């Protein structure tokens, strides 16, 4: 079942370490705009999946973050939300990982919810495991042609 949250209001997301982000809802429009970001579109096709994930998360965060708490300068003074500040915040591994898992992946998980079966990497049956032994051709290995082979 798909659970719809029709509220257009931003929500707070706790990333740990005293950091909270106020984020716009993760909508199709937001994802499409992020995919069209010049940095995302111009990414080297040979870039690693990790580099792609970091770049995409940063582009998405720059669009989605409307406020934050627990982010300050070296002296502990609260900093305003800026694109440079968002990039610096996501450069911290625990923060990036929490943001990626709790916000970015949430949009990706919806696709996984549509099917009760485990996803298969390259086709509908590639990931399936056989549950019966392979049948021998009729009349071979001592089996009568019309008798089923025991499992």
- Cα distances from 144 to residues 55, 132, 151, in angstroms, run 63, 19, 15
Predicted confidence (pLDDT) at residue 35 exceeds the cutoff of 70: yes
Nearest-10 crossing angle of helices 28-35, 49-64: 120
In a domain, 34, yes or no: yes
Among 11-25, 85-99, 135-149, the minimum mean pLDDT is found in 135-149
Comparing 69 with 144, which gets the higher pLDDT? 69
- What pLDDT does residue 141 have? 57
Question: Which range of residues forms the domain containing residue 52?
Answer: 11-111
In a domain, 17, yes or no: yes
Q: Summarize pLDDT for 47-106 with one digit per residue, the tens.
A: 999 999 999 999 999 999 999 999 999 999 999 999 999 999 999 999 999 999 999 987
In a domain, 96, yes or no: yes
In a domain, 133, yes or no: no
């Amino acid at each position: 079942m798909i659970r719809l949250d029709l509220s257009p209001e931003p929500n707070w997301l706790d990333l740990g370490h005293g950091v909270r982000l106020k984020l716009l809802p993760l909508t199709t429009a937001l994802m499409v705009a992020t995919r069209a970001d010049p940095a995302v579109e111009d990414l080297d096709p040979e870039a690693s999946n990790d580099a792609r994930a970091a770049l995409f998360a940063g582009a998405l965060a720059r669009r989605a973050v409307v406020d934050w708490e627990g982010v300050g300068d070296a002296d502990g003074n609260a900093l305003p939300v800026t694109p440079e500040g968002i990039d610096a915040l996501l450069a911290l591994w625990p923060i990036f990982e929490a943001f990626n898992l709790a916000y970015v992946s949430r949009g990706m998980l919806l696709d996984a919810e549509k099917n009760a079966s485990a996803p298969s990497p390259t086709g509908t049956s590639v990931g399936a495991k056989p549950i019966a032994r392979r049948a021998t051709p009729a009349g071979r290995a001592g089996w009568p042609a019309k008798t089923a082979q025991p499992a």
